[in-house]
């Protein structure tokens, strides 16, 4: 069934919805109670619920919580400057984001480290608990995941069995058959954006040789929405397999030819969570209650971004598993450097086939 992104119709009154302007100084961010960003399909429903939480708290207490939620075209700013903020510069009391290198630098994580015993939740969904999504240091509090799955075109399989695990994507039988997320303005310039998390995870598990084998099977990179709408057609941009977030795979309209395959060894999970300064925990409890509560959980589950709480039924397919690099690897590496190295390895191998990809260069 195709899921609709249902979002409350109440207008936002108390929350700034646009991205922080580029000229905003890092020193100004200390006055914010929350700085947040979410995947594009969740931005409006997340913001609408956040508006209501802020308004309800103000009505009950007379106190307004200052929140900035990035819902415009700006995505990295001002997150990309937080880690460089001087120790005496105030930071937002709470950060909400998917897992990304700009919030994972040690000096930034230290400023959101809990005091005393690490915060932890007791209601983990068994699938999420088995995947080890709980941060043992209690800094990054995961409340949902973005699962990456396979969308398979049965007609393009041409008698080959559909891939069932990530290692299957390294098989030479899938040469020129895989598409995943990326964007560039034209074919003569490097990709401005691509799924670096996917490449990082594959590089960590299968090494440079495995990532090069994967690259040999990649046909094209393009926006996930375009792939979802074109899958099951005869578009030259697509092959037999697309790697997509579960939502986009589920929204594909041509289900007579396509089906979603949840990898047997686990969908690749990208955590979505929050960081909370210990000194702000009591004051920002209404915001924590919102992001971890049942109302947002229902929205997340309905739109294929499963919440990690166990109290919502049907958030995962039967027998589903998750996999991801894990906290040890995430913390032991500079994620920006490791991601860039994985990208360089992939694009060097992928662009090396001049018969198919003239003019392609790796992102710098």
Longest CA pairwise span in the chain (Å): 66
147-266+338-351 CATH pick, 3.40.605.10, 3.40.190.10, 1.10.10.10, 3.20.20.70: 3.40.190.10
Tell me: the pLDDT tens digits for 21-39? 344 566 678 899 999 999 9
Provide mean pLDDT across the span 58-76: 84
Tell me: pLDDT of 359 over 50.
no
DSSP state of 140: S
State the number of CA atoms in the 13 A half-sphere of 36 facing the CB. Answer: 29
Provide mean pLDDT across the span 218-232: 95
Q: Other CB atoms closer than 10 Å to residue 290's CB: what's the count?
A: 22
Tell me: pLDDT of 109 over 50.
yes
Topology (CATH level 3) of domain 26-146+270-324: D-Maltodextrin-Binding Protein; domain 2 (3.40.190)
Q: What's the pTM?
A: 0.89
CA distance 265 to 249: 18
Provide mean pLDDT across the span 65-83: 77
Token pair, residue 56, equals 């309800």
Tell me: the pLDDT tens digits for 292-318? 999 999 999 999 999 999 888 889 999
Q: Which residue has the higher pLDDT, 239 or 90?
A: 239
CA distance 319 to 127: 9
Tell me: pLDDT of 5 over 90.
no
Tell me: pLDDT of 93 over 60.
yes
pLDDT at residue 4 in the model: 31
Pairing mode of beta strands 34-36, 193-194: unpaired
C-beta separation of 194 from 325 below 8 A:
no
CA distance 14 to 69: 11
Name the average pLDDT for the chain: 87
Q: Which residue has the higher pLDDT, 96 or 314?
A: 96
CA distance 46 to 28: 24
Provide mean pLDDT across the span 37-44: 92
C-beta separation of 232 from 153 below 8 A:
yes
pLDDT at residue 36 in the model: 94
C-beta separation of 244 from 149 below 8 A:
yes
User: Domain limits of the chain?
Assistant: 26-146+270-324, 147-266+338-351
Topology agreement, domain 26-146+270-324 and domain 147-266+338-351: yes
Contacts of 236 (CB under 8 A, 6+ apart): none
Pairing mode of beta strands 34-36, 218-222: unpaired
Tell me: pLDDT of 9 over 50.
no
pLDDT at residue 311 in the model: 84
Spacing of C-alpha 124 from chain mean position: 19
pLDDT at residue 21 in the model: 38
Strands (E), the chain: 34-36, 67-69, 94-98, 141-153, 178-183, 193-194, 218-222, 241-245, 258-261, 267-276, 322-323
């Amino acid at each position: 069934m195709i899921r609709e992104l249902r979002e409350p119709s109440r207008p936002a009154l108390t929350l700034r919805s646009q991205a922080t302007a580029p000229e905003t100084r890092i020193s100004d961010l200390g006055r914010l109670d929350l700085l947040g960003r979410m995947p594009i399909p969740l931005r409006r429903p997340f913001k609408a619920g956040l508006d209501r939480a802020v308004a309800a708290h103000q009505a009950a207490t007379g106190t307004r919580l200052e929140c900035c939620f990035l819902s415009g075209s700006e995505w990295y700013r001002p997150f990309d400057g937080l880690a460089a903020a001087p120790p005496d510069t105030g930071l937002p009391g709470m950060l909400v984001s998917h897992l990304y290198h700009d919030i994972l630098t040690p000096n930034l994580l230290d400023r959101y480290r809990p005091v005393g015993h690490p915060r932890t939740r007791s209601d983990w969904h068994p699938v999420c608990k088995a995947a080890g999504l709980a941060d043992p240091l209690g800094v990054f509090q995961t409340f949902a995941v973005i699962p990456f799955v396979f969308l398979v075109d049965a007609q393009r399989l041409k008698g080959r069995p559909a891939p069932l695990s990530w290692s299957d994507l390294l098989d030479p039988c899938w040469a020129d058959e895989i598409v995943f997320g990326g964007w560039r303005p034209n074919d003569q310039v490097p990709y401005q954006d691509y799924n670096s998390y996917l490449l990082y995870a594959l590089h960590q598990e299968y090494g440079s040789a495995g990532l090069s084998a994967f690259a040999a099977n990649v046909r094209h990179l393009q926006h996930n929405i375009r792939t979802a709408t074109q899958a099951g057609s005869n578009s030259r941009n697509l092959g037999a397999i697309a790697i997509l977030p579960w939502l986009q795979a589920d929204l594909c309209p041509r289900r007579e030819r396509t089906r979603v395959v949840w990898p047997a060894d686990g969908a690749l999970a990208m955590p979505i969570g929050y960081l909370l300064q210990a000194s702000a925990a009591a004051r920002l409890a209404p915001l924590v209650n919102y992001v971890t509560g049942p109302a947002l959980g229902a929205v997340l589950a309905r739109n294929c971004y499963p919440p990690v709480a166990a109290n919502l039924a049907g958030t995962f397919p039967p027998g589903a598993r998750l996999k991801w690099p894990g906290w040890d690897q995430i913390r032991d590496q500079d994620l920006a450097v490791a991601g860039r190295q994985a990208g360089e390895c992939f694009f060097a191998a992928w662009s090396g086939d001049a018969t198919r990809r003239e003019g392609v260069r790796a992102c710098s």
